[in-house]
Amino acid sequence: MVSPNSPETPGSAASASGSPRAIQDVVIRLAGNSQDGIQSVGGFLARLAGRSDQDIMTYMTIPSTISGGPSIFQVRMGTGDVLSAGDRADMLVAFYQHSYDAHIGSLRPGGVLVYDSDQVTPAADDNRFTNVAVPITTATVEAVGGTSKDKGKNIFILGLIARVFDLDVAKLSALIKERFGGKDESIVRNSMLAFDAGYAWPQNNLRDLFYRFEAVDRQRASSGRPQVTLDGNTAIAYGLIAAGVRHGAGYPITPWSSIMETLRVEFPKYGGIFVQCEDEIASISTAIGFSYTGQLAITGSSGPGLSLKMEALGWATMAEIPLIVVNVQRGGPSTGMPTNVEQSDLMQAIYGSHGDTPRVVIAPKNVEDCFYVAIEACRIAREYSTPVIILTDMGLSSRIEAFDEPDLPKLMVDPKADLSERGTDFKPYPLDKITRHAPPGARIASGKYPTVTGLEHDELGHPTGSPKLHTQMTAKRRDKIKKLAASLPAPEFNGDSSGEVLLVTWGSSWGPGLEALGRIRKVGVKAGHLHLRHIHPLPNGLEDSFKRFHKIVVAELNDEGLYGYGQLAMMLRARYANPSIVSVTKTDGLTFKVSELVAGVAKHIESTELDAALGVSRKSALATS
């Protein structure tokens, strides 16, 4: 057998099939069942890219039923900035007939179909693709031998991909050894056997497929720190730890669970505690209790669980307790599409609960931002003594990306509670200042201990039915959030500063939005892209950006609702009373494809008087770009 780790190395393989074709990025979709370990292939590729100078974004679906069932992993690797998961695959690896049937439509014409010829019979009359038959099952069994059956098919394919895309075999082998090194020695040996077999496989028409990533001069300034590769949920968890959060409570629900699992294991290393509670109500209650002791705490969930937390969230707003609530959005309502993405909890995050409950909502744009949004959320929660909701989504939660390791020594926040004695003038709810609670354990020089309460209260926390005080205290709770709004930086803006269309995105739609902007401008449309990270409160001054464009197209993964506008679009229209604000929405449970955004924008430009100025040719160019 030819092993890439033995003298027969990529160089000699290259000579066998001529020189490689240069590519900038590639989208590979692996389709199989969840127990086939295709996620780990994605993981290896992601980490390889992290260790090379390649960006990576993965796209992963897992079935909501746990044992078996269809599962895919889509990885897009490139040497430039990879912004979206890729609209269509360049290569599809189909492990089963059902994988082929369900995913052949995602392969671009001219793309490469690699299928397990032991399992799949492709349509005989479909000649749009380069079909490559590989007996993945038998080849793996032959290579590994023994009793492991077809386990290792994933690593076989990894080897094959490494050969086709001329990946760094030494680094990949090192990753495989690191990954399985702690386990039974036979696992590493079998994995390497499967990998080598896949690497050596290319024969027949597969021999002609040989690519190499073009080296590009990267514009991005290097931080000098190495790249790390992780998913969005993990990034949030470590962001919270960096921000000094050491306490939390939660209840399992997909796709939030992995955050609580990480924190349950990690917190004790930092002297902290994460409690698994009996339900989401208990979880937020326990988290608020933790925060009340002067240590900012976290709870979280997905849509249904966030609904359960709403009453207590109202209390935290009233009592002015800092708190972090993570909501990993999925398709709703109810159990909905638990393993798909949606951005339909926006209104719930902003306006859920009862009464007037001003609070803060921020949304990360990619995996790296998950880390920094967590830090930003903690800063705001402490500074403004308020609950902050981090609105992330299923897309980000399981997606793996590589980014520069954060500057940890600079970012670490000391979690210590302030138990110093408070002076005789201490008031928990001063009307002229932002609340700074005295946690239990802190002496109060006056001997008058504060009550924190959900009843409307006076400055000392005593219940009051005074109409005047309720008005004043409602204003106090609102004004601090307005103060935050005034301090927020201008949102990320790209493209032309004025023109025909401004594309507005939030959350994980950032990448596809930015990529769509490039395509829109390429055909000559003057366009900008504005991405909102702070969603509530909105940063001040957006109206000026809006005024400079004829149409403001807000793209979001939720329904257009009864009135024809997505949730953010609805809010922006209410706030700015600007009729040029329109919506692009969808509810198929998948992240935006760049082409969908471009088409959505084209549709709206068509619908204005501006159509004439645009010209037919440009319009059709947009629609097909």
333 binds another protein (CB under 8 A): no
Q: How many residues does the chain have?
A: 625
Write the secondary structure of 189-216 as one string of H (helix), E (strand) and C (coil).
HHHHHHHHHHHHCCCHHHHHCCEEECCC
Q: Which stretch binds another protein (CB under 8 A): 120-128, 135-143, 294-302, 517-525?
A: 294-302
Task: CB nearer to another protein: give 448 or 547.
Answer: 448
Out of 104, 242, 260, 350, name the contact with another protein by CB under 8 A.
242
Distance CA 86, CA 83 (A): 8
Taken in order 93, 96, 97, 99, the sign of the CA dihedral is: negative
Query: Who contacts 203 (Cβ-Cβ below 8 Å, separation ≥6)?
Result: none
SS3 at position 127: coil
Whichever of 460 and 610 has its CB closer to another protein, that residue is: 460
Q: Interface with another protein includes 305 (CB under 8 A)?
A: no
Q: Which of 10, 37, 42, 50 binds another protein (CB under 8 A)?
A: 50
Binding-site member from 110, 409, 465, 489 for another protein (CB under 8 A): 409
Mask for 361-400, x = binds another protein (CB under 8 A): ----------------------------------------
Which helix (H) or strand (E) is 504 found in, with range? strand 499-506
Distance of alpha carbon 359 from alpha carbon 377, whole angstroms: 11
347 lies in the site for another protein, by CB under 8 A: no
Nearer to another protein by Cβ, of 184 and 278: the residue is: 278
CB of 178 to another protein, least distance (A): 9
Q: How far apart are CA 597 and CA 167, in angstroms?
A: 32
> Quick one: which segment of 123-131, 208-216, 224-232, 492-500 binds another protein (CB under 8 A)?
224-232
Q: What part of residues 127-186 is at the interface with another protein (CB under 8 A)?
A: none
Rounded to a whole number of angstroms, the CA Rg of the chain reads 27
Identity of the residue, 34 or 317, whose beta carbon is nearer to another protein in the bound complex: 317
Instruction: Give min distance, CB of 62 to another protein, in A.
Output: 21
Contacts of 408 (CB under 8 A, 6+ apart): 242
- Residue with Cβ nearer another protein (75 or 200): 75
The site that binds another protein (CB under 8 A) totals a number of residues, namely: 70
Strands across the sheet containing 273-276:
273-276, 247-250, 297-301, 323-329, 387-393, 360-362, 534-536
Cβ(501)–Cβ(605) below 8 Å: yes
Q: Is 286 in the site for another protein (CB under 8 A)?
A: yes
- Residue 327 in 3-state DSSP? strand
Which of residues 444, 481, 488, 610 is near another protein by CB under 8 A? 444
Cα–Cα distances (Å) from 428 to 286, 434, 437, in that order, read 21, 9, 6
Least spacing, CB of residue 311 vs another protein, in Å: 6
Q: What are phi and psi of 157, to 5 degrees?
A: -65, -35
Rounded to whole angstroms, the Cα distance separating 420 from 426 reads 12
User: Which one among 37, 42, 152, 450 touches another protein, defined by CB under 8 A?
Assistant: 450
CB of 89 to another protein, least distance (A): 27
Query: In terms of CB distance, is 384 or 426 closer to another protein?
Result: 426
Does 443 contact another protein by CB under 8 A? yes
The footprint of another protein on residues 539-578 (CB under 8 A) is none
Binding residues (CB under 8 A) for another protein: these are: 47, 50-51, 226-230, 234, 238, 241-242, 247, 249, 266, 268-273, 275, 277-279, 281-283, 285-295, 297, 311-312, 315, 319, 405-406, 408-409, 412, 415, 417, 438-444, 447-455, 461-463
